[in-house]
Amino acid sequence: MNKLEAYLNRLTCEKRHAPNTLKAARQDLQLIDSNEIFSGAGESAALKIRHRLSQLHASGLSPATLARIASTWRGFFKFLLEQGEISEHPMVGIKTPKRPKHLPKALSPDQTSQLLDVSVPIDPSESDKIHIRVLSLALSELLYGGGLRLSEALGLDISQAAFEVRFSEAPCLGGWLNWSSGEIALVGKGGKPRIVPLTRVAAERLSDWLKIRSSMVPDLNETAVFIGAKGGRLSARAAQRLIAALANQSGLERHVHPHMLRHSFASHLLQSSGDLRAVQELLGHASIASTQVYTALDFQHLSTVYDKAHPRAKKRIT
């Protein structure tokens, strides 16, 4: 096993990284030849790495992408250092461009209600349009009601046993529905477990969907909660299309993507409770810093309300 494969194997077995994370790590590491970096000829390893980062920057990669690539390289070189393959870390002191700070885009509570409060008649014999609408609403309600990542929602299985079998075969994001306790058991990024409540409306939407799902699964071994037209686990791209179409049908004059519902969950919860730690736990953030971005979003909301409502708002110092 070469050094790259050994490192990826560690990420898989010890770090429990998700498949998409592993795929990105492999692509990032293929951008650099460690044998060439540490060969005795020419520049030092640090200078070679700086030169390669400069080439990637010149090719038009965004600061966020460069930061991710550099982070992957740092982890790889740390692994080589621990294994005794190299004597010092070559990226000490090397900085990448700062990522631009963007506030997450969220729906307002009224917009969320417009998207989700749609009455749908449930009849498995109805047309595919009804099937799609029920699926879209169940998925959207789950993303907003529990603040799930899309990959977590699509990774849900119909039972704990089914998910544990999949997770033992390869690390994955997902979990299962615990109807008896009214909760969703999740395994998020880094294999971090968490429990989120299953709201009454989400439970109703899911029950509606599961009635239809049972008639759409040709493979009895398929354990996914959310399935696509061919009977397999629903893909991320298909889920994005479903939610965008639901927003359009609901009359929202803006593009809605799945992660926007997670942002909306966090923003609305923080506006109502002010409890940053609770929001952190429900989102499954490893660091409070990841959750703090929603405080800025909350202030932005309050500022908008102030501008619309306060008689002196237009006379503020700018």
Question: For residue 126, what pLDDT band results from cuts at 50, 70 and 90?
Answer: low
Q: What pTM was computed for the model? A: 0.71
Query: Quick one: pLDDT band at residue 62, thresholds 50, 70, 90?
Result: confident
Same domain, 120 and 49: no
Q: Is the pLDDT of residue 73 over 80?
A: yes
Residue 37 lies in a domain: yes
Q: What backbone torsions phi and psi does residue 158 show, to the nearest 5 degrees?
A: -75, -15
Looking at the domain assignment, is residue 87 inside a domain?
no
In this structure, are residues 103 and 170 in contact, taking their beta carbons and an 8 Å threshold? Answer: no
Residue at 93 is within a domain: no
Average pLDDT in the chain? 84
Cβ neighbours of 27 (radius 10 Å)? 11
What is the H or E stretch that residue 119 is in? none
| Co-location of 153 and 259 in the same domain | yes
**Antiparallel, parallel or unpaired: β 174-178 and 193-197:** unpaired
257 confidence band (pLDDT: 50, 70, 90): very high
On whether the CB atoms of residues 133 and 120 are closer than 8 A, the answer is: yes
pLDDT at residue 101 in the model: 67
CB atoms within 10 A of CB 186: 23
Res 245: pLDDT: 92
pLDDT at 35: 77
113 and 78 fall within a common domain? no
- CATH code, domain with 45: 1.10.150
Separation CA 22–CA 155 (nearest Å): 17
Kindly name the residue from 149, 205, 213, 233 that is annotated as catalytic.
149
Give the pLDDT score at 316. Answer: 47
Q: CA-to-CA distance for 61 and 59, rounded, in angstroms?
A: 6
- Contact yes or no for 276/295 (Cβ under 8 A): yes
Q: How is residue 76 written in tokens?
A: 């790889």
Q: How many residues does the chain have?
A: 318
Task: List the catalytic residue out of 74, 78, 259, 301.
Answer: 259
What is the distance between the alpha carbons of residues 13 and 212, in angstroms, rounded to a whole number?
Answer: 37
Split at pLDDT 50, 70, 90, the class of 318 is: very low
Max avg pLDDT among 33-37, 93-97, 132-136, 287-291: 132-136
Residue ranges making up the domain that contains 52: 3-82
pLDDT higher at 44 or 154:
154
Question: Hey, what are 314's tokens?
Answer: 């237009």
| 144 part of the active site | no
Identify whether residues 183 and 284 lie together within a single domain.
yes
Q: How many domains does the chain have?
A: 2
**Residue 133 falls in the annotated catalytic set:** no
Average pLDDT over residues 251-276: 89
Model pLDDT, residue 294: 72
pLDDT at 296: 64
What does the pLDDT read at residue 255?
Answer: 92
Phi, psi of 187 (to 5 degrees): -120, 115
Give yes or no: 131 in active site: no
Q: Per the domain annotation, does 102 fall within a domain?
A: no
- Considering the domain architecture, whether residues 72 and 166 belong to the same structural domain is answered as no
Structure-model confidence comparison of residues 35 and 174, the more confident one: 174
Sign of CA dihedral 148, 152, 154, 157: negative
Structure tokens at 13: 């077995």
Q: Decide if 26 is catalytic.
A: no
- Residue 291's pLDDT is 79
Query: What is the distance between the alpha carbons of residues 21 and 27, in angstroms, rounded to a whole number?
Result: 10
- Per-residue pLDDT, averaged over 54-61, amounts to 90
Tell me which of 17, 262, 263, 268 is the catalytic residue.
262
Helix axes 276-283, 258-273, angle to 10 degrees: 150
CATH number at residue 125: 1.10.443.10
Q: For residue 175, what pLDDT band results from cuts at 50, 70 and 90?
A: very high
Facing residues of 178 across strands?
183
CA distance 223 to 232: 9
Report d(CA 123, CA 106) in Å as an integer.
33
Greater confidence, 300 or 13? 13
Residue 306, pLDDT score: 46
Q: Give the percent of the chain with pLDDT over 70.
A: 85
The arithmetic mean of pLDDT across residues 33-43, rounded, is 73
Q: Which of 68, 189, 194, 257 is catalytic?
A: 189
Q: Is residue 73 part of a domain?
A: yes
